[in-house]
């Protein structure tokens, strides 16, 4: 439908004033370093030497912000503003300055002429703020640099926030991205009875940076069909005349909000469990306005307003071209700043009459600074789930299944607070976390049939076959003050790796802002790892996310490789208690050997890396060090130490296990890093170290660069060799098997022990036997498959 309604003259005046003021401030941020109110003729020296920023999307963002303020005042509701076209940063900054939120946080950016000048000079300048909507922007939970994530962040914010309405502006360029295309499905997981609401606003201005957008050129019928297919009932507003657009947009927003209220009221009154069951559809708004609306129509004889030329800086030679300077001055004066700001540069009462009060301001909404609302998780005692380990490396268990039982009780203990969710791409059972279904269901708003398993509208296990959606929902959930876990297959976590990078950058920047309160860490569990994809092939084998997270600054990045269930429990508890980190936990789901009892595991995990005396025979003076990080490399390393002890007993071997990968960094490079004394105490200052590593060998070499004589480390890691094969064949293909490690240990030892030649021949024979056996029997040899540690 196309909504139209009449505004009062007073409403129209106030909306227009707010819009013009924000537009003026937006242009000022892009261009001016002096003369903020144009109290004198514009001169070249008033112009910044470098013109940065994006004008094209900003008038639409300003228009929507003003109209949403009117809705907030009329309905007294809690609302977040998520700007998908994040490069419209100056627009959002303009609005949070007008509402005084900016001044309350940044006291030197006062709400007057000097503060306005400071606002202008801060924008996209050294020591200032970025050009995108970003961490320093009050009211933002969304970094606008990488496009495609706005709508999923909006839904994440709405989950378990029943009184919150998230207005999410989706740019038509952003709508071309894969993540955004998947994000429309969010309403299939939004419970009208329990959650808040999301109002998607598809802003079509037809152009990207240099060409048209797909949806911008699509017909209304095609867009209606697209959104209807996703489950929305879209409302259209279009125009380039403010006198027409203002009343139409106001009526459309009123209609959308009324429909949201009706859906929620019906669901919460017990008439229906979900919105689809009522026959009503969630609304969406489609707004068509010209790109760069109200900007210069023509520059140098070329059309600008309504074209791709308005995308960034429409008039570029302002300091050197008098004609361009005149165009800019005419453009800025067209907003009639004297009507909007008084002699001191303060907004006149009509300019800010629509600004809501206090925490109802979108820039001051507490959900946008989620640490203010964050409460600690009520976590179960890890001792209640501890695996009994009477002897190391003798019992096999699915470690993630043990964690699943603990997660079950995290749900149970926090059911009243409703502040924890598990996000997983259709893999909860596959990853052995299915114990959560004893107390919780999968969230599902669509039709259900008798054979469905644990589906319910109010479930808090979020399964959707999109890594982007799972992680994006969790990010929005965390940034608005809640807790969660993203569990996925290791190789396919790379699908959303750039999202993780963006989130890490957000956390890094937030730590420097005193007003941004700490939020719960982004906890990511990687399982179905490269070493144990028994029924999957090469496509499922890739440990590259370790490299990605390792490259982030130490103040936010953490990587844990627990070797067994008790270490996993200890690490997970620590991660759930932590704040402002990206915690990567890597462990496989298949049955694996258990090494440490719960007390030993806690001590080991608190140290991050330690020598395992039970597997060593070095007498504090090893001939060679066997080190490992990761569950399968740990098993192969321990088996190699066992072989060496039995066949070359006079060789002194120290076994070191690393659970906190960041401990390997030099102390000056990471907060968890070791200084030279500690590093050398663990690995010795001069013995060779044969290191079996879960990931790519080069990553570990990067970690230890700068430590004492790092060239003595000989790393065995994933070599991009894989297929659908047996578990042991995977380590053989990548030279990480116990036989490869034994041979390398003999080669690197400071002395050649008696029996070394026989052991090397034995290793070669066993590798040859392995090859024949697996090709004939399709499984590993019993002496490999059933191996346990014996004294």
Tell me the pLDDT tens digit for each residue of 341-374.
999 999 999 999 999 999 999 999 999 999 999 9
> What per-residue confidence (pLDDT) applies to 713?
96
9-354 and 382-593 have identical folds: yes
Closest CA to 385 of 570, 660, 523: 570
Q: Are 392 and 355 in contact (CB under 8 A)?
A: no
Asked if residue 2 has pLDDT above 60, the reply is no
Asked if residue 275 has pLDDT above 60, the reply is no
Q: Which residue did the predictor score with more confidence, 87 or 48?
A: 48
> What per-residue confidence (pLDDT) applies to 535?
65
Interval 572-629: pLDDT, tens: 999 999 999 999 999 999 999 999 999 999 999 999 999 999 999 999 999 999 999 9
Residue 247, CA distances (Å) to 21, 28, 456 in order: 19, 27, 40
Interval 533-567: pLDDT, tens: 666 777 778 899 999 999 998 899 999 999 999 99
68-100: b (≥16 Cβ within 10 Å) or e: bbbbbbeeebbbbbbbbbbbbbbbbbbbbbbbb
Closest CA to 565 of 711, 388, 415: 388
Asked if residue 274 has pLDDT above 50, the reply is no
In the chain, where are the structural domains located?
9-354, 382-593, 608-785
Closest CA to 493 of 478, 503, 508, 479: 503
Mean pLDDT of 176-188: 96
> What per-residue confidence (pLDDT) applies to 424?
96
Phi then psi for residue 365, to 5 deg, are -60, 125
d(C-alpha 659, C-alpha 604), whole Å:
8
Q: Classify residue 751 by burial, with Cβ atoms within 10 Å: 0-12, 13-18, 19+.
A: exposed
778 - beta bridge partners? Answer: none
d(C-alpha 332, C-alpha 39), whole Å:
12
Q: Are 727 and 786 in contact (CB under 8 A)?
A: no
Structure tokens at 726: 């047996």
Phi then psi for residue 214, to 5 deg, are -60, -55
Give 271's pLDDT tier (boundaries 50, 70, 90). low
Whole-number percent of the chain with pLDDT over 90: 91
Q: Are 71 and 18 in contact (CB under 8 A)?
A: no
> What per-residue confidence (pLDDT) applies to 5?
46
Give 87's pLDDT tier (boundaries 50, 70, 90). confident
Query: Which long-range CB contacts under 8 A does 775-780 form with residues at least 24 apart?
Result: 778/726, 779/726, 780/726, 780/727, 780/728, 780/729
| Residue 134 CB-half CA count within 13 A | 21
> What per-residue confidence (pLDDT) applies to 787?
97
Structure tokens at 791: 């004294």
Give the three-class secondary structure for 673. coil
Give the three-class secondary structure for 542. coil
Mean pLDDT of 749-770: 96
Structure tokens at 492: 């396919």
Closest CA to 458 of 723, 192, 230, 221: 192
Interval 646-691: pLDDT, tens: 999 999 999 999 999 999 999 999 999 999 999 999 999 999 999 9
Q: Are 101 and 75 in contact (CB under 8 A)?
A: no
Q: Are 445 and 188 in contact (CB under 8 A)?
A: yes
Phi then psi for residue 690, to 5 deg, are -95, 115
658 - beta bridge partners? Answer: 609
What's the DSSP call for residue 204? E
Residue given tokens 């001069």 in the structure block: 686
d(C-alpha 655, C-alpha 628), whole Å:
8
Q: Are 523 and 585 in contact (CB under 8 A)?
A: yes
> What per-residue confidence (pLDDT) applies to 277?
45
Q: Are 567 and 604 in contact (CB under 8 A)?
A: yes
What is the number of residues in the chain? 791
d(C-alpha 265, C-alpha 271), whole Å:
9
State the chain's maximal CA–CA distance in angstroms.
98
d(C-alpha 573, C-alpha 577), whole Å:
6
CATH architecture of the domain formed by 608-785 = 3-Layer(aba) Sandwich (3.40)
Query: How many other C-beta atoms lie within 10 A of the C-beta of residue 405?
Result: 17
Closest CA to 234 of 211, 247, 218: 218
Torsion sign over Cα 222, 225, 227, 233: positive
Residue given tokens 């704040």 in the structure block: 579
| Residue 230 CB-half CA count within 13 A | 20
> What per-residue confidence (pLDDT) applies to 537?
72
Mean pLDDT of 301-307: 95
> What per-residue confidence (pLDDT) applies to 196?
98
686-710: b (≥16 Cβ within 10 Å) or e: ebbbbbbbbbbbebbbbbbeebeeb
Closest CA to 593 of 558, 560, 625, 628: 628
| Residue 18 CB-half CA count within 13 A | 29
The pTM assigned to this predicted structure is: 0.95
> What per-residue confidence (pLDDT) applies to 542?
86
Mean pLDDT of 77-90: 93
Q: What is the 3-state secondary structure (H, E, C) of 757-787?
A: HHHHHHHHHHHHHHHHHHHHHCCCCHHHHCC
d(C-alpha 790, C-alpha 394), whole Å:
8
Q: Which of these CATH numbers, 3.40.50.2000, 3.10.440.10, 3.30.70.270, 3.40.50.970, describes 382-593? A: 3.40.50.970
Q: Are 180 and 170 in contact (CB under 8 A)?
A: yes
Asked if residue 204 has pLDDT above 90, the reply is yes
Mean pLDDT of 16-34: 98
Mean pLDDT of 377-406: 97
Q: Are 530 and 342 in contact (CB under 8 A)?
A: no
Residue given tokens 């209640």 in the structure block: 384
Q: What is the mean pLDDT of the chain?
A: 94
d(C-alpha 246, C-alpha 9), whole Å:
11
Structure tokens at 709: 């004589």
Phi then psi for residue 397, to 5 deg, are -145, 160
d(C-alpha 304, C-alpha 493), whole Å:
42
- H helices of 484-624, where? 497-510, 545-550, 565-577, 598-607
Query: How much helix, strand and coil, in percent to the nearest 5, is found in the chain?
Result: 45, 15, 40
Mean pLDDT of 55-83: 97
Interaxial angle between packed helices 9-31 and 113-122, expressed in degrees from 0 to 180 and rounded to the nearest 10 = 50
Q: Classify residue 381 by burial, with Cβ atoms within 10 Å: 0-12, 13-18, 19+.
A: exposed
Measured distance between the N- and C-terminal CA atoms of the chain, rounded to whole angstroms = 78
Q: Classify residue 429 by burial, with Cβ atoms within 10 Å: 0-12, 13-18, 19+.
A: middle
- Give the fold, CATH level 3, of 9-354: Rossmann fold (3.40.50)
Q: Which of 275-289, 510-524, 663-677, 754-768 shows the lowest mean pLDDT across its residues?
A: 275-289
Mean pLDDT of 144-165: 94
Mean pLDDT of 244-255: 96
CA 423-659-760 angle, to 5 degrees, is 120
d(C-alpha 507, C-alpha 152), whole Å:
18
> What per-residue confidence (pLDDT) applies to 6?
59
């Amino acid at each position: 439908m196309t909504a139209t309604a009449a505004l009062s003259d007073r409403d129209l005046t106030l909306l227009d004033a707010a819009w013009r003021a924000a537009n003026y401030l937006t242009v000022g941020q892009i261009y001016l370093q002096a003369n903020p109110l144009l109290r004198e003729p514009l001169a070249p020296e008033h112009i910044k030497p470098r013109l940065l920023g994006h004008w094209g999307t900003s008038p639409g963002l300003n228009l929507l912000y003003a109209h949403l303020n009117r809705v907030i005042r009329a309905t007294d509701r809690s609302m977040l503003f998520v700007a998908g076209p994040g490069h419209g940063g100056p627009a959002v900054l303009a609005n949070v300055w007008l509402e005084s939120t900016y001044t309350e946080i940044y006291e030197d950016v006062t709400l007057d002429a000097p503060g306005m000048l400071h606002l202008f000079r801060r924008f996209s300048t050294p020591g200032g703020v970025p050009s995108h909507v970003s961490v320093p922007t009050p009211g933002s939970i969304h970094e606008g640099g990488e496009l495609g994530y706005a709508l999923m962040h909006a839904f994440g914010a709405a989950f378990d926030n029943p009184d919150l309405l998230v207005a999410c502006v989706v740019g038509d360029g952003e709508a071309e991205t894969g993540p955004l295309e998947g994000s429309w499905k969010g309403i299939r997981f939004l419970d009208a009875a329990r959650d808040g609401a999301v109002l998607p606003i598809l802003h079509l201005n037809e152009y990207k940076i240099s060409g048209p957008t797909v949806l911008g050129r699509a017909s209304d019928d095609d867009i209606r069909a697209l959104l209807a297919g996703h489950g929305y009932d879209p409302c259209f507003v279009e125009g380039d005349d403010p006198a027409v657009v203002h009343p139409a947009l106001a009526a459309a927003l009123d209609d959308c909000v009324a429909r949201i209220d009706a859906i929620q009221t019906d669901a919460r009154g017990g008439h229906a469990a979900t919105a689809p069951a009522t026959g009503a559809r969630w609304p969406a708004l489609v707004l068509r306005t010209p790109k760069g609306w109200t900007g210069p129509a023509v520059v140098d004889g070329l059309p600008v307003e309504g074209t791709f030329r308005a995308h960034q800086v429409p008039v570029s030679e302002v300091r050197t071209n008098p004609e361009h300077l005149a165009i800019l001055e005419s453009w800025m004066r067209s907003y009639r700043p004297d009507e909007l700001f008084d002699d001191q540069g303060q907004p006149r009462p009509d300019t800010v009459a629509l600004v809501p009060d206090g925490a109802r301001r979108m820039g001051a909404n507490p959900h946008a600074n989620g640490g203010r609302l964050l409460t600690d998780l009520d976590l179960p005692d890890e001792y209640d789930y501890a695996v009994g380990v009477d002897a190391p490396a003798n019992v096999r268990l699915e470690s993630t299944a043990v964690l699943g039982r603990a997660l079950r009780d995290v749900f149970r203990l926090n059911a009243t607070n409703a502040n924890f969710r598990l996000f997983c791409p259709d893999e909860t059972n596959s990853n052995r976390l299915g114990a959560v279904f004893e107390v919780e269901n999968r969230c599902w708003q669509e039709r259900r049939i008798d054979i469905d398993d644990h589906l319910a509208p109010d479930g808090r296990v979020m399964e959707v076959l999109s890594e982007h959606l799972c992680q994006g929902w969790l990010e929005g959930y965390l940034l608005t003050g809640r807790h969660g876990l993203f569990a996925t297959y290791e190789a396919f976590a790379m699908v959303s790796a750039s999202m993780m990078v963006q989130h890490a950058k957000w956390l890094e920047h937030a730590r420097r802002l005193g007003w941004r309160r700490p939020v719960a860490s982004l906890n990511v569990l990687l399982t179905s790892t490269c070493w144990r994809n028994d029924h999957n092939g090469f496509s499922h084998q890739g440990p590259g996310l370790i490299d990605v997270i390792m490259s982030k600054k130490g103040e936010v990045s953490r990587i844990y490789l627990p070797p067994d269930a008790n270490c996993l429990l200890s690490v997970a508890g620590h991660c759930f208690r932590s704040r402002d980190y990206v915690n990567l936990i890597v462990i496989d789901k298949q049955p694996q050997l258990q090494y440490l009892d719960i007390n030993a595991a806690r001590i080991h995990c608190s140290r991050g890396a330690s020598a395992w005396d039970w597997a060593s025979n070095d007498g504090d003076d090893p001939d060679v060090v066997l080190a490992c990080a990761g569950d399968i490399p740990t098993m192969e390393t321990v088996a190699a130490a066992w072989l060496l002890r039995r066949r070359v007993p006079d060789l002194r071997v120290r076994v070191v296990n690393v659970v906190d990968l960041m401990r390997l960094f030099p102390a000056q490079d990471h907060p968890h890093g070791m200084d030279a004394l500690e590093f050398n105490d663990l690995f010795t200052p001069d013995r060779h170290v044969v290191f079996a590593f879960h990931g790519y060998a080069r990553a570990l070499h990067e970690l230890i660069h700068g430590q004492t004589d790092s060239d003595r480390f000989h790393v065995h890691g994933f070599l991009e060799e894989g297929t659908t094969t047996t578990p042991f064949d995977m380590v053989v293909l990548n030279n990480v098997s116990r036989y490869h490690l034994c041979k390398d240990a003999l080669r690197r030892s400071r002395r050649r022990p008696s029996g070394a030649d026989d052991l090397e021949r034995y290793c070669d024979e066993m590798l040859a036997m392995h090859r024949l056996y697996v090709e004939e029997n399709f499984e590993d040899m019993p002496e490999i498959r059933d191996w346990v540690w014996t004294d």
